[in-house]
Structure 1
Amino acid sequence: MSQLVSPRMQARAQSTVLRNVLRLPPSVLRRIAGAPTRIDGQELDLRVQAMLRLQHLTGQTQLSANTTEAARAGMRRGTEVLQGPAITGVDVTGKHVPTSAGGVGARLYQPKGLGQPSTLLVYYHGGGWVLGDLDSHDSVCRFLARHAGVRVLSVDYRLAPEHPFPAAVDDAVESYRYAVEHADELGTSADSIAVGGDSAGGNLAAAVSQYATGSDLKAPVLQVLLYPAVDASTRRRSRELFSDGLLLTDEDMDWFMDHYQPDEEQRGDPRLSVLLADDLTGQPPAYLATAGFDPLRDEGEEYGRRLREAGVPVVARRFDDLVHGFLQFHGIVDRSHEALLEIAGSLRTALALHA
């Protein structure tokens, strides 16, 4: 009988069970989650803690695996469990972005009823440059398109280890250039294109912004950096504080970097460690979000400070009760949903001020 139940059906059933568990009264959830997690003067959201506890009980304790295939399969399963109900009111069109390496896939998300032209957000998904794809961040892109009132072009850049650094950066830059050169076709104008991404995708968005301001390519009007990875050369305090049990682990981070840039001597390249760029003057305005219980927290916030010191307008927001990757479970965790709503609202406001 178990052979008649597909993996997708199993994931949907698990998603339903998880959503129902997380709707239990706080007193019951506390029994599941255990004592409050308090680190560095912060307290982890109860429902996030309960979700992590349940993942631990099922053996799902980290993002990395023995093989990239196993890790990617794990992320696909996790996406199906955590994404929640489908987001409607958005039209989605597949795209092909030509590049010097042969091209990458993309998806254009357009809120129903949105006029032309509108701002376009070129979005790069997270996953440590090794995991993730258009499907893993489909719900996030739909959410941003609908609630921020923008078009979103999600880019399926090449992944490591099959395509190590700087392949992802090259694809990110060429995809942004494509958006600028084909703005009319994408329902926008070259003066109304932003870049954004989460985690590794936030790294790529920052790298694209730096490349554009240092070349003849029109710079983005805004960079949306969501718990970005910005420095592969230095271990900071937050990586020690939140090294285990909070979704992204210290072991995961080593695993990702060993696949993306195995040469440790080259990890200070500013196309990877964007924090180490000599001059950040003239960068696009930035919205930078970090999570309190995230190994990447301190480097992301340091990047925000460096941008400010260079005279760049920055809105920095720490969601101090959340973990790395909180975008991915906005469909089942109320606090994550609230955070993504705030991000979408900030994006809408920033773009309206630009317009």
Structure 2
Amino acid sequence: MARSLPADRFWGRLLLASLLVNSRLDSVLRDTVTGLQANSLTPLYALPAAVRRRLAGAPIQIDGNLLDPDLQLLLRVDNLLPRTTKTDAATARARFRNLCKLIQGTPAELQRVTDLTVRGADGQLGARLYIPRDAGRGLLVFFHGGGWVVGDLDTHDGLCRAIAADAGIRVLSVDYRLAPEAPAPTAAEDAIAAFTWAVEHADDLGVDPALVAVGGDSAGGNLAAVVTQQTVRRGLPHPALQVLLYPAVDLVARRPSRDLFSEGFILSENDIIWYRDHYTPDPTIRPDPIVSPIRADDLTGLPPTYLTTAGFDPLRDEGLEYAQALRAAGNPITHIPHPTLCHGYANLLTVPGKIPQAQTHLTNHLRSALH
């Protein structure tokens, strides 16, 4: 097992690396990052900006967008970490948990964090309630990303804490059932049941039932979009707001961004196919709006939407298309493109630069909408 490097040695190795030619950068950086432990990316980003840019490598520009250099440095570190092939769900889940420990940073301080259970489609689900100091009466029911296969309450703990603290709202993170053990539409039905439970138990949660929003990132954004559509169509209590962070909304068609960013930007083309096949082993369900919400026949009458897309994301184009479809159907929508970022940016809490700005925009919107 690799040993963790002392901080002074860590900094020294990276400073030395920044002065070496590119052919030596990877070998020095690889030797350094193999000793990293949880949250130890912090000293990496404490290095001077000029050093970080040198470590990141030559600027990357695709489709008119320039990748944020601090995010590029993280991608370079990730590419140097030992690879684990996605041969099975358990291995993929373990790797995702380890990666999230590295990138979530110091947890935000809250008044209270409580583990509880909520109603799922078939029994109880684990959940976690985040209550910030001076919390308002708003609540965000949050579904984590991870391709419906990986991810849990812990992988998105840092993000949920940050949202609660900065937006001044409660956050209820739901541990919906994962594929392949529970294929589609299990996660969607769990999400619908959990959201309606939260509205029904608003008083117990200390929130206003009229100020309960739904949100998620990536696959969680997919579930949030499904919850929004299905609660309206089924005559159930529906969200005050849906928050869709670089959502997956179409499991049928592919768009140009899938080819532009098929490799090297956290979510690869192989990842997309692997997740899709685990979540929907029966291809006939993929066009159903409960799996591909962009394919709904009727998008009218939905609550307000806050939707983000990332410039270096294979899912960028489907997110943009969904934003356009919601607007064309007459729904109020705020679409925020982040041209310098990549898929998964919301969970990369240790990375400076544009990511904190994106988070601030999100939490300001939530504070305004749910207070």
Q: TM-score range by the shorter chain?
A: over 0.9
Q: Could you tell me which residue of structure 2 aligns to residue 159 of structure 1?
A: 178
Q: Could you tell me which residue of structure 1 aligns to residue 195 of structure 2?
A: 176
Distance 2:190 2:259 in 1: 32
1:88-142: CA deviations, max 9, x gaps? 1241111111334121010111112325xx0111110000000000001111111
- Which of residues 201, 206, 213 in structure 1 aligns to 2:220? 201
TM-score normalised by structure 2 residue count? 0.88
Q: Could you tell me which residue of structure 2 aligns to residue 243 of structure 1?
A: 262
Instruction: Label 1:44 to 1:158 Cα distance change in 2 as closer, same or farther (>3 A).
Output: same
Asked if structure 1 preserves the Cα contact closer than 8 Å seen for 2:71 and 2:351, the reply is: no
Q: Could you tell me which residue of structure 1 aligns to residue 64 of structure 2?
A: 41
Distance 1:163 1:314 in 2: 32
- Which of residues 92, 112, 129 in structure 1 aligns to 2:148? 129
Asked if structure 2 preserves the Cα contact closer than 8 Å seen for 1:11 and 1:81, the reply is: no
1:68-100: CA deviations, max 9, x gaps? 111110011111111111211241111111334
Q: Could you tell me which residue of structure 2 aligns to residue 81 of structure 1?
A: 102
Deviation at 1:37, TM superposition (A): 0.5
Asked if structure 1 preserves the Cα contact closer than 8 Å seen for 2:133 and 2:168, the reply is: no
Aligned residues: 343
Asked if structure 2 preserves the Cα contact closer than 8 Å seen for 1:12 and 1:80, the reply is: no
Q: Could you tell me which residue of structure 2 aligns to residue 96 of structure 1?
A: 117
Whichever residue aligns with residue 51 of structure 2, its letter is V
Q: Could you tell me which residue of structure 1 aligns to residue 8 of structure 2?
A: none
Asked if structure 1 preserves the Cα contact closer than 8 Å seen for 2:53 and 2:73, the reply is: yes
Whichever residue aligns with residue 270 of structure 2, its letter is E
In the alignment, structure 1 residue 108 sits paired with structure 2 residue 129: yes
In the alignment, structure 1 residue 18 sits paired with structure 2 residue 53: no
- Which of residues 211, 221, 224 in structure 1 aligns to 2:243? 224
Distance 1:43 1:36 in 2: 7
Distance 2:323 2:133 in 1: 34
Q: Could you tell me which residue of structure 1 aligns to residue 366 of structure 2?
A: 347
Q: Could you tell me which residue of structure 1 aligns to residue 92 of structure 2?
A: 71
1:160-204: CA deviations, max 9, x gaps? 000000110010000011011111001112211110000000000
Deviation at 1:263, TM superposition (A): 2.0
SS in 1 for 2:123: coil
Whichever residue aligns with residue 69 of structure 1, its letter is A
Deviation at 1:4, TM superposition (A): 9.8
Structure with larger Rg: 2
1:207-266: CA deviations, max 9, x gaps? 000011112212111000000000011000111100000110000000000100022232
- Which of residues 334, 338, 342 in structure 1 aligns to 2:357? 338
Output the aligned Cα RMSD. Answer: 1.9
Distance 1:94 1:16 in 2: 23
User: Share of identical aligned residues, percent?
Assistant: 48
SS in 1 for 2:158: helix
Instruction: Label 1:100 to 1:322 Cα distance change in 2 as closer, same or farther (>3 A).
Output: closer
- Which of residues 278, 299, 315 in structure 2 aligns to 1:296? 315
Distance 1:341 1:239 in 2: 28
Q: Could you tell me which residue of structure 2 aligns to residue 28 of structure 1?
A: 51
Deviation at 1:49, TM superposition (A): 0.6
Instruction: Label 1:303 to 1:12 Cα distance change in 2 as closer, same or farther (>3 A).
Output: farther
Asked if structure 2 preserves the Cα contact closer than 8 Å seen for 1:95 and 1:108, the reply is: yes
Deviation at 1:347, TM superposition (A): 1.5
Asked if structure 1 preserves the Cα contact closer than 8 Å seen for 2:141 and 2:173, the reply is: yes
- Superposition pairs of residues 260-271 of structure 1, within 5 angstroms: 260-271=279-290
Distance 1:16 1:257 in 2: 30
Q: Could you tell me which residue of structure 2 aligns to residue 327 of structure 1?
A: 346
TM-score normalised by structure 1 residue count? 0.92
Whichever residue aligns with residue 288 of structure 1, its letter is L
Distance 2:119 2:65 in 1: 45
Asked if structure 1 preserves the Cα contact closer than 8 Å seen for 2:41 and 2:350, the reply is: no
- More moved, 329-338 vs 287-296: 329-338
Deviation at 1:34, TM superposition (A): 1.6
Instruction: Label 1:97 to 1:15 Cα distance change in 2 as closer, same or farther (>3 A).
Output: closer
In the alignment, structure 1 residue 146 sits paired with structure 2 residue 169: no
Distance 1:25 1:37 in 2: 20
Q: Identify unmatched segments of 5+ residues in structure 1.
A: none
Distance 1:84 1:3 in 2: 21
Asked if structure 2 preserves the Cα contact closer than 8 Å seen for 1:330 and 1:340, the reply is: no
Distance 2:203 2:326 in 1: 31
Asked if structure 2 preserves the Cα contact closer than 8 Å seen for 1:83 and 1:332, the reply is: no
Moved over 6 A (4+): none
Instruction: Label 1:12 to 1:308 Cα distance change in 2 as closer, same or farther (>3 A).
Output: farther
Instruction: Label 1:142 to 1:39 Cα distance change in 2 as closer, same or farther (>3 A).
Output: same
Asked if structure 2 preserves the Cα contact closer than 8 Å seen for 1:11 and 1:80, the reply is: no
Q: Could you tell me which residue of structure 2 aligns to residue 59 of structure 1?
A: 82
Q: Identify unmatched segments of 5+ residues in structure 2.
A: 5-32
SS in 2 for 1:97: strand
1:10-64: CA deviations, max 9, x gaps? 999435542222332333223322210100000001011111112112234x8x6
